[in-house]
Amino acid sequence: MAAVPKIRFRGFTGDWEQRKLGEVGKARSGVGFPDSEQGGTSGIPFFKVSDMNVDGNENEMIIANNYVTKAQIVSRRWSPIEELPAIFFAKVGAAVMLNRKRLCRFPFLLDNNTMAYSLKKDMWNADFAKALFETVDLTSLVQVGALPSYNSGDVESMKICLPNLSEQRKIGTYFKELDHFITLHQRKCDDTIELKKYMLKKMFPQNGKKIPEIRFAGFTDDWEQRKLGDIFEEYSEKNHPELPALTIIQGGGTVKREEADRKLMYDKSNLSGYKMVRKDDFIVHLRSFEGGIERASSDGIISPAYHTFHGNNVDSRFYYPYFRSFEFIKKKLTPHVYGIRDGRSIDINGMKTIEIPYTSFEEQQAIGNYLDALDDLITLHQRNLDELKEVKKYMLQNMFPQKG
């Protein structure tokens, strides 16, 4: 059987040939890896499923958490995978359902929860194989109701379509470069998120100190500790049915109920009983103390079960990350929570007595502006990353012949 993809590089017109994986390579399961043999830092890498999560291993297995020496290999009678390149993936357990694959170019060992498919060098381009395997659904081999798993025979029986090596090299180079850009934007996004976490720690005084470690030029006064109830005033204003009904997105502000991912049912005949909230004011959900303080993204009305707070001479962009920090939630808010497990609630009056950091409105604005800039950068990197992932998804669907 022959097939052709929808999108193709110029100059290639021949049919792709259908082959079984067992005809153009060999699948091999891993071996047991006793705890006593683990922990080595030199020698041949001994890969486990968890190594796919290591930074740098997003596409190829470069780094291992465990290495073994030649002496260990001889003693245990292990046989490293030397038929290279190879594709590495999980073969048993929940990790199977993630359907992840990685390329391996250097000799390695693998544990018995994983499998490697060695490529016949005269039949494959390694980068093309990596891309093609992303279109192979290994989860289709799993038996319903059983512990997710499959064997080498299952893998080798799967059918794929191959073009000639010249076309493989073109396609492989394209996807390798695309993966490089995806990884680059992912790291930029992750690095900016980590920078924000770091700066939040450094731009707020720690351990009872009166000034932060990092500060914008021109600000020298000591910070104060003031009661939350003195800085933020609770209010309850109703009878605004003309405003949109809002719902809270934990860690993401508010959204109109009609625009929520999950359409939320509510009594539209009783909107006059809902509480008004103004943009940038804070909303407290008593039953969600580990992330229950949210900032309103727009004017609207919310359930009367919520509590609404307006700051006096404050920049909410300054306080929002603080209210979501470990310092506030675990160290300061938790003592004002009562009940057990799912019945836990915030003591709203106790919460108002919590002492929180306070500095001038001008310094709050400066910090708020900086955090906004970081958020914009994170959003930009994430948008670029999402767009590249969509491009890759589309090209995988169209640069390889579809089955059926």
Residue pLDDT, tens place only, 158-174: 999 999 999 999 999 99
- Both tokens assigned to 58: 């997003």
- The H-or-E segment that residue 156 falls in is helix 152-156
3 state DSSP class of 96: helix
Q: Is the predicted pLDDT of residue 111 greater than 60, yes or no? A: yes
Q: Which of 323, 341, 358 is the last residue of a domain?
A: 358
- Both tokens assigned to 162: 């191959």
Model pLDDT, residue 293: 85
Is residue 66 in a domain?
yes
For 42-88, write each residue's pLDDT tens digit: 999 999 999 999 999 999 999 999 999 999 999 999 999 999 999 99
Q: Is the predicted pLDDT of residue 392 greater than 60, yes or no? A: yes
Q: Which of 123, 145, 164 is the last residue of a domain?
A: 164
Q: Is the predicted pLDDT of residue 99 greater than 90, yes or no? A: yes
CA gap 107, 46 in Å, rounded: 10
Q: Is the predicted pLDDT of residue 262 greater than 60, yes or no? A: no
**One domain for residues 10 and 150:** yes
* The total number of structural domains that make up the chain: 2
Is residue 345 in a domain?
yes
- Both tokens assigned to 46: 């001994």
3 state DSSP class of 233: strand
DSSP 262: S
Is residue 96 in a domain?
yes
- Both tokens assigned to 206: 């720690």
Is residue 219 in a domain?
no
Is residue 86 in a domain?
yes
For 336-348, write each residue's pLDDT tens digit: 888 766 667 888 8
Nearest one of 216, 356, 351, 222 to 286, comparing CA atoms: 351
For 8-46, write each residue's pLDDT tens digit: 999 999 899 999 999 999 999 999 999 999 999 999 999
Is residue 202 in a domain?
no
**One domain for residues 34 and 155:** yes
Q: Is the predicted pLDDT of residue 136 greater than 90, yes or no? A: yes
8 A C-beta contact, residue 232 and residue 219: no
Q: Which of 118, 143, 164 is the last residue of a domain?
A: 164
**One domain for residues 269 and 131:** no
Model pLDDT, residue 116: 97
For 178-190, write each residue's pLDDT tens digit: 999 999 999 999 9
Q: What is the residue range of 282's domain?
A: 224-358
Q: Is the predicted pLDDT of residue 297 greater than 60, yes or no? A: yes
Average pLDDT over residues 233-249: 89
Q: Alpha carbon of 197 to those of 38, 201, 383: distances in Å? A: 33, 7, 20
CA gap 256, 246 in Å, rounded: 4
Q: 316-323 and 361-398 helices cross at what angle (nearest 10)? A: 70
**One domain for residues 128 and 230:** no
Average pLDDT over residues 235-251: 87
**One domain for residues 93 and 236:** no
Average pLDDT over residues 365-388: 95
Model pLDDT, residue 345: 83
Task: Compute the mean pLDDT over every residue in the chain, rounded to the nearest whole number.
Answer: 91
**One domain for residues 21 and 103:** yes
Model pLDDT, residue 402: 78
Q: Is the predicted pLDDT of residue 279 greater than 70, yes or no? A: yes
Is residue 25 in a domain?
yes
Q: Are strands 293-295 and 282-284 parallel, antiparallel or unpaired?
A: antiparallel
* Least-confidence region, from 2-6, 76-80, 113-117, 235-239: 2-6
Model pLDDT, residue 209: 87
**One domain for residues 160 and 14:** yes
**One domain for residues 69 and 155:** yes
Nearest one of 93, 367, 111, 115 to 223, comparing CA atoms: 367
Q: What does the CA dihedral 148, 152, 156, 159 come to, rounded to 10 degrees?
A: 0
CA gap 329, 345 in Å, rounded: 13
Average pLDDT over residues 189-193: 95
Average pLDDT over residues 131-138: 96
For 229-240, write each residue's pLDDT tens digit: 999 999 999 999
**One domain for residues 245 and 345:** yes
Contacts of residue 27, Cβ cutoff 8 Å, sequence gap at least 6: 21, 115, 116, 117, 118, 152, 153, 155, 156
Q: Is the pTM of the predicted complex or chain greater than 0.85?
A: no
Half-sphere exposure of 22 (CA within 13 A, CB side): 8
Here the CATH number for the domain that contains residue 229 is 3.90.220.20
**One domain for residues 343 and 246:** yes
For 199-233, write each residue's pLDDT tens digit: 998 999 887 789 999 999 999 999 999 999 999 99
pLDDT over 90 for what percent of the chain? 75
**One domain for residues 128 and 253:** no
Is residue 265 in a domain?
yes
pLDDT over 70 for what percent of the chain? 93
Nearest one of 170, 156, 184, 171 to 29, comparing CA atoms: 156
8 A C-beta contact, residue 33 and residue 46: yes
- CB-based burial, 2-27: b 16+ in 10 Å, e otherwise: eeebeebeeeeeeebeebebeebbbb
The 10 Å Cβ neighbour count of residue 387 is 12
**One domain for residues 255 and 132:** no
CA gap 183, 173 in Å, rounded: 15
